[in-house]
Structure 1
Amino acid sequence: MARIGPRFSRSEPRERVRDYVAGLLSGLQRKNSWWIAEHAGESSPDGMQRLLRKARFDVEAIRDDLTGYVSERLGEADGVLILDETGFVKKGRASVGVARQYSGTAGRIENSQITVFAAYASAKGHALVDRELYLLKDWTEDPDRCAAAGVPAERIAAGTVTKPRLAQVIIERADDAGLPFQWVTADAAYGSAKYLRFWLEQRDQFHVLALRGKDDVVIGFSQPRAQAVIDDLPERAWQRLSVGAGSHGPRRYDWARVPVRWAWRPGRGHWLLARRSITDPTKIAYYICYGPRRSSLTDLA
């Protein structure tokens, strides 16, 4: 709190944000303004709501402070930047970015906000470090609505930005901030965007990105689907590996990889990676990988 304190020009929000964060870190059953205000000894949620809705502070500077803090406390040369989106179900139309759209949180099309998040992970721990709100055309084509909700002018001018493009913004920002990460990971919503993969490769940024089975990969001069390539593998190509501890013990899967692309730059390699469930071999996940030529199957897994 001492680090981010200067981002608040007034003492009241500076003190209240400390109580708000303490509430988030507490064992409260619910983390809304009512519960957090009571935890802080306040008689009503008005102050907490005012902090979140109207208080003026430098949000982007606080994000940079957080990135610096995570880099100092958790930073490792082989760190991983993890990109994923989260949906926040909403009832009304006023929340910025809210629209009827698919929400993975709800598992269906729902009135919600969608935000692309970045987490940083190393052997020392993990933490969220950045976020970008996704805006559909319902918003970007209505400047007045955006302005009323406080959307920055430069974001309005940019129009609709895809989620993989938002991921690029986040990755670039983390890199510029000096956050030490060797690998980038994301699910198929990002891995299926070829322009994101090309951009990462141009930056020589190692990555393991999920693919859909129907996505094509380059094998020599052909472009078969990922699923077809893995289906043709003999059983001896699979290795059983543990990729860390889960809530029910070691997370064990069968893994296999196939070299892809016909030309590799010196010291670098490209692979199609597959993860197969031990209990249900029909459940297979696919990943496109770019990294050091000597990367082992365990490294990629």
Structure 2
Amino acid sequence: MYTGGLFTSEKGNIERIEESVPAVNYEQLRQFISKSPWCHNQLMTEIALRANRKLKDYSNKSELPIGFYIDESSFVKKGMHSVGVSRQWLGCRGKVDNGQVAVFSSLGCGAYNSLIDCRLFLPECWTEDKERCNRAGIPEDEQEFKTKIELAIESVMEARTQGIVYDFIAVDALYGSSFKFINRLDQLGEVVMGRMRNSIHVYLEEPLFQLPERESNKGRKPTKLRAQTLSVTVKSIAESIKENLWEDIDIRSTTKGILKVQAFQKKCAA
């Protein structure tokens, strides 16, 4: 009844759902939402597994790859009692405002997509206030501060534990520019397609790191490893590619037409 109400009511709150769905009892619905001890993780796992089965069937027929997409979303709030609410950057407003932020994961293939995971971001103003967390009903083991990068890594690990099958992971510049995120996924053998800030430095060859030699007997000994290979910015790589080597690729349909990107694929010698 609650799920049906989310689709049929003008606003997805209990009062409007009671008006739009027959046989709904306000008090029962309020109990279900606020205090009923059901496990949302089990529900999300079942949704993820069902979505994966459907998308695998479609992928086999269409020969299109399955993507694992990670991005955060935000929700404007007026009060200060909703879990995780604070003044923070809200992408939906394009500025710092009062609201909640969560990291979402979804599976997609072609024009089909399904959310499979959601992890609420708890700012430090919450995790440093245990009394506030307890009043809001946050479980003790969930009162630890985690960055959005750490939440995204947890989401990937959860999907791997569930046995979710996909061909690549796609992220925006927040995650694509995080070496902690990229290195962890590289260790797991994941294929990642993501945006990067154009100021990020990368290596075109496997770098060799070593301690530099001490130039004199004065001062401290060098303790930081330095690469023997010069790094370059992502922007400089893009600018070095000739215009006729870029390929236009249609990504998906949007309200403004077909979303296109320009891509360059480096051909490797056989």
Pair 1:88-2:75 in alignment: yes
Closer, same or farther in 2 for the Cα pair 1:118/1:79, shift >3 Å? same
2:31 paired residue number = 50
Pair 1:192-2:177 in alignment: yes
Q: Highest CA radius of gyration, 1 or 2?
A: 2
Pair 1:25-2:7 in alignment: yes
In 1, distance between residues paired with 2:180 and 2:4?
Answer: 41
2:163 paired residue number = 178
Q: How many angstroms does 1:257 deviate by?
A: 4.5
Structure 1: state its 5+ residue gaps. 1-18, 260-268, 270-292, 295-301
The CA deviation string for residues 78-113 of structure 1, in whole angstroms up to 9 with x for no partner, is: 321100001111111111111110010111101111
The CA deviation string for residues 9-36 of structure 1, in whole angstroms up to 9 with x for no partner, is: xxxxxxxxxx11112233x433222222
The CA deviation string for residues 59-80 of structure 1, in whole angstroms up to 9 with x for no partner, is: 2211222122212222357321
Structure 2: state its 5+ residue gaps. 206-228
What TM-score, normalized by structure 1, do the two folds share? 0.73
In 2, distance between residues paired with 1:244 and 1:113?
Answer: 28
Q: How many angstroms does 1:40 deviate by?
A: 1.2
Q: How many angstroms does 1:124 deviate by?
A: 7.4
Aligned-pair identity (%): 24
Pair 1:211-2:196 in alignment: yes
Closer, same or farther in 2 for the Cα pair 1:248/1:103, shift >3 Å? closer
Q: How many angstroms does 1:43 deviate by?
A: 7.9
* Partner AA of 1:239 in structure 2: E
In 2, distance between residues paired with 1:124 and 1:109?
Answer: 32
Larger mean Cα displacement after TM superposition, 88-97 or 72-81: 72-81
* Partner AA of 1:40 in structure 2: V
User: Is the contact made by 2:111 and 2:252 (CA closer than 8 Å) also made in structure 1?
Assistant: no
2:261 paired residue number = 253
Larger mean Cα displacement after TM superposition, 249-258 or 54-63: 249-258
User: Is the contact made by 1:34 and 1:44 (CA closer than 8 Å) also made in structure 2?
Assistant: no
Q: How many angstroms does 1:258 deviate by?
A: 5.5
1:242 paired residue number = 250
1:39 paired residue number = 20
Closer, same or farther in 2 for the Cα pair 1:93/1:209, shift >3 Å? same
Q: Secondary structure at the match of 2:78?
A: coil
Q: Over aligned residue pairs, what C-alpha RMSD do you find?
A: 2.3
1:223 paired residue number = 231
User: Is the contact made by 1:38 and 1:44 (CA closer than 8 Å) also made in structure 2?
Assistant: no
What TM-score, normalized by structure 2, do the two folds share? 0.81
Q: How many angstroms does 1:39 deviate by?
A: 1.2
Q: How many angstroms does 1:51 deviate by?
A: 2.3
Closer, same or farther in 2 for the Cα pair 1:154/1:43, shift >3 Å? closer
